[in-house]
Amino acid sequence: MKTLNKTTLALCLAALGGEAAAQAAAQDPGTMERIVVTANRRDQLVQDTPLAVSAFTQETLQNNQVKDLASLTALVPSLVVEPHSDSGGVHVYLRGVGSANHTELGDPAVAFYVDGIYLPRPQGATALMYDLAHVEVARGPQGTLSGRNATAGAVNLVSAAPNTTKTMGAVSVTAGDYHRIQTQGMINLPFGDNLALRVAAIKDSHDGYVDFARGSNVPPGADKYGAQDQAGARATLLWKITPALRATFIADYYEDKGAGNVYLAQEPVAGQDRWSAVIDTPGTLDQSIMTYKTKWNWAATDWLDVQYLGSWSRLKRSNASDADAGLYLGFKAENRTEWGQFDSHSNELQLRSAGAGPVQWVAGLFEFGENNRIRFDIDRSQISEAALRQDLAAGNVIFVRPTVGEYASAMSFIQGDRQLKSKAVFAQGSYDVNEQYKVTAGARYTKDHKFDRGGQNWACPNWPDNAPRGAAVLTPNQLAQLVTPGTGLINTHNIGPGGAVTVAGCGNTPGDNTADLEYGQATWLGRVEYKPARDILAFASVTTGFHSPAIGDGGATTKPEKLTSYEIGFKSDLLNRTLTLNLDAFWMKYKDKLESQVVNNTLQNFNAAGATVKGIEAEFAWRPVPAARISGNATWLRAAYDSFLSCDIDAARANGQVCGTTAPTEDVGGSVLKHAPRFATTVMGEYDFAVAGGRLTPRLQAHYETKAFIAAGAFNRDVPGHPGVKQQPAYTTLDVSLRYEPANKAYTAELFVNNATDKEVKYDAVEVCTQVGAPCQPNQQIWAAYYNQPRTLGARLSMKF
């Protein structure tokens, strides 16, 4: 009972004081920090939560230079965040499982939440992390309480709550190379004992990393790829209406006006700098997310709590990107989101048991909807070999402006009404058999309706079929793409930014994207917990989840992806709570696993037969002495397809074959999943030295991974003539910092270097000839990849008042 009382006290403190209380849950400065999480839809210390969940306070995030989900990857076992250029978003993977479908109704496999509110678009995962109580990352399927599209896990950012007892604030300034400037601030204003307002804001910008190589055709002052210009603001109002009823209202704004990312050559020619590209479409991004949220908590009785979560969000986006990345000179592929608006709302009602009895339960209703509209254009053009040589001989700029007898084509995807309507009911209950054993069961039923009304695919004048230079005989499709006399220097088949799309101007009629998909799915959970001692918890669970089916180009649909996960976990606080050690072993079986791959500008969605993911994860944090902290994680992973009938597009092209005709279809069962290295680990150490009336803390963090497959598709073997292009070899990265804090903790000053050894790491690999339809020779391949950021350094000064 002593353990129960201490836990109850910690949870009460957390509910009353937000971030400060979560930090106060630690026993003393010499023991490990204890964080309260909500992964089970109720407040629990992370060490009392029978899930594979990682949690980090805002202070930990700052000390590790974490500003967004991408920079959190080293702290979370098996987390990978892959950039994407033409959507302004990212693809998130956990345990080798993710989704590369970033279309209007593409769904992530790792669900992303802010304050418990689901953000469906992958752009939401790019939001800045600032003024948070904590971040929690739950790994494995969360199908009962989180629902659809949480097959790989769920990420929840929990913002810091207003405090009704005192006025306080904080400011921080970070400066670094590439002209980086980050400023952020927070102020908390109480208005009596029952009302408080907390306002926080951040702005972060830096120059790009990718230089414009000779031949680039960009206007003066264009931002380099990799440049960021992000800002966020949040206002949170807490109102304690009565002792039993409190309401929280949050307005959250985020914008990104950077340049986005671009693929870089994997096999640069002699003398070519990796961090440069021949650019003829500068990256532009104008993206904003406005979200209004409310949370109501009512202690209805001594045994019943009621919670309501509601939200409305609007994401708006326009952007342009250089899809060919200058890797085939004289050819231009420009991708543009002309306009995009993504509206979503959610309502969730939860009923929860109160008190500390042997039975604990939560039940609820969930309703969610999206209404998405977008126009996405692709303009392609090609000049002759003679024109290219003339441009190269004349100067530094290559003008891809097709004239009579040269090529121009375009595509436009106009989705005016893509919607999702989702409803769910769920319940989960636990029973304390005795002081050592607890059993839990839960279930959820989801009913979804996903549809596209009137969506159109335009191909002007036809699907891309550009001829390689020097081709003597042209197909009818290639002839149709030639600029004809009287159309001027720019063919009307190049739509151009904001251009109208008509049958007369396009030379073709649109394809129909109309689709209508309804489905229902039940998911469930069973779990047993065993607590042999106060600070040791063991658990075993069986959990199911599902990923909603996809709607693709031409109205094509897929089946839902289904998953059953078997898990055994161990959590412990040892050595008088100076050592935290958590272990988790899992075996996940996927059925009809969803895959996505872009070929010739068309996103193809399909189901693999199945996959098996199994592994062991470990997390530890140790304070051998009060001044020292050592922490880290490690993952051993085996993730492979059970069976998957497919064609190796890359090998076929290298061998002069074509999938669907001359290239064979194979069962690639046993092939390793993308972003699933056999072993990965991160180790961090820091030590406090007493210096000048304060403490000086050097910090060192190293991350190591074995080789991993990083390309789309299931064929992770070498491509003939291009060894290693689909893999990231084993690597190690290193981050270092030096932090000073005076005894009164009035401020913190820090110097830091990220990626200190300037290691190049690939996140995604593509073959440009098939990815964007470049007019390559029949067996020619040009391989490119997204890379991590180069070495960066900076300084940070922060103060609290």
pLDDT band at 600 (very low <50, low <70, confident <90, very high): low
Residue-by-residue DSSP string for 594-640: EEEEEETTEEEEEE-SEEEEEEEEEEEEE-SSTTEEEEEEEEEEEEE
Strand, coil or helix: 239 = strand
Whole-number pLDDT of residue 481: 85
Q: Do the beta carbons of residue 559 and residue 593 sit within 8 Å? A: no
474 has pLDDT over 70: yes
Whether the model pTM is above 0.95: no
Q: How many helices (H) and strands (E) does the chain have?
A: 7, 46
Between 493 and 388, residue with greater pLDDT: 388
pLDDT at 525: 96
pLDDT given for residue 19 in this prediction: 38
Which of 394-400's residues contact partners 24+ apart within 8 Å by CB, and which partners?
Answer: 396/214, 396/215, 396/216, 397/215, 397/216, 397/217, 398/215, 398/216, 398/217, 398/278, 398/280, 398/329, 398/330, 399/217, 400/217, 400/280, 400/330, 400/331, 400/332
- Other CB atoms within a 10 A radius of the CB of residue 533 amount to 11
What number of other Cβ atoms are within 10 A of residue 326's Cβ?
A: 26
Instruction: Name the pLDDT band for 491 (thresholds 50, 70, 90).
Output: low
- Calpha distance 666→609 (Å, rounded): 13
Greater confidence (564 vs 659) lies with 564
Task: Say how far apart CA 126 and CA 142 lie, in whole Å.
Answer: 21
Tell me: pLDDT of 3 over 60.
no
- Whether the ω angle into residue 461 lies within 30 degrees of 0, i.e. cis, is yes
Task: Tell me the three state secondary structure of residue 48.
Answer: helix
Check: CB of residue 201 under 8 Å from CB of residue 268.
no
Average pLDDT, the chain: 89
Residue range 312-327, pLDDT digits in tens? 999 999 999 999 999 9
> pLDDT grade, residue 580 (50/70/90)?
very high
Which residue, chain included where needed, has tokens 């193809």? 604
Average pLDDT over every residue of 463-483: 82
Report, as an integer, the average pLDDT of 111-139.
90
Closest-CA residue to 388 (of 214, 213, 211, 215): 215
Distances in Å between the Cα of 627 and the Cα atoms of 105, 334, 455 are 50, 54, 61
pLDDT in tens, 351-378: 999 988 899 999 999 999 999 999 999 9
List C-alpha distances in Å: 593 to 92, 150, 481, 610: 16, 13, 38, 6
The predicted pLDDT at position 14 comes to 37
Average pLDDT of the residues in 757-773:
92
- The two structure tokens encoding residue 131: 């003024």
Query: Mean pLDDT throughout 628-650?
Result: 93
Sign of CA dihedral 518, 425, 94, 203: positive
Average pLDDT over residues 241-269: 95
- Strand 679-687 and strand 645-646: the pairing is unpaired
Which residues, 6+ apart, have CB-to-CB distance to 124 below 8 Å? 89, 112, 114, 289, 315
Tokens of 350: 């939860």
Spatial distance between the Cα atoms of 735 and 210, rounded to a whole number of angstroms: 22
Q: Identity (one letter) of the amino acid at 559?
A: K
513 against 628, higher pLDDT: 628
Dist CA 687 CA 626 (whole Å): 9
**Higher-confidence residue: 549 or 29?**
549
Q: How confident is the model at residue 777 (pLDDT cuts 50, 70, 90)?
A: confident
Q: Is the pLDDT of residue 13 over 60?
A: no
pLDDT at 297: 96
- Residue 15: pLDDT over 80: no
Return the H-helix or E-strand segment holding 125: none
CA distance 542 to 169: 45
* 734-753: average pLDDT: 95
In this prediction, residue 601 carries a pLDDT of 59
Task: Please state, in angstroms and as integers, the Cα–Cα distance from residue 111 to each residue in 89, 147, 194, following that order.
Answer: 14, 9, 34
CA dihedral 140, 143, 145, 148 (to 10 degrees): 120
Pairing type for strands 153-159 and 110-114 reads: parallel
Cβ distance 289 to 315 under 8 Å?
A: yes
Question: For residue 10, is pLDDT > 80?
Answer: no
Q: What is the pLDDT of residues 400-429, one digit of tens each?
A: 888 888 888 899 999 989 999 999 999 999
User: Any idea what the Cα angle at residue 343 is, between residues 338 and 348, rounded to 5°?
Assistant: 160
Is the confidence at residue 289, as pLDDT, over 60?
Answer: yes
Q: What is the pLDDT of residue 324?
A: 94
* pLDDT level of residue 16 (50, 70, 90 thresholds): very low
Mean pLDDT along residues 555-572? 91
Q: Are 533 and 438 in contact (CB under 8 A)?
A: no
**Is residue 391 over pLDDT 80?**
yes
User: How does residue 134 score in pLDDT terms, banded at 50, 70 and 90?
Assistant: very high
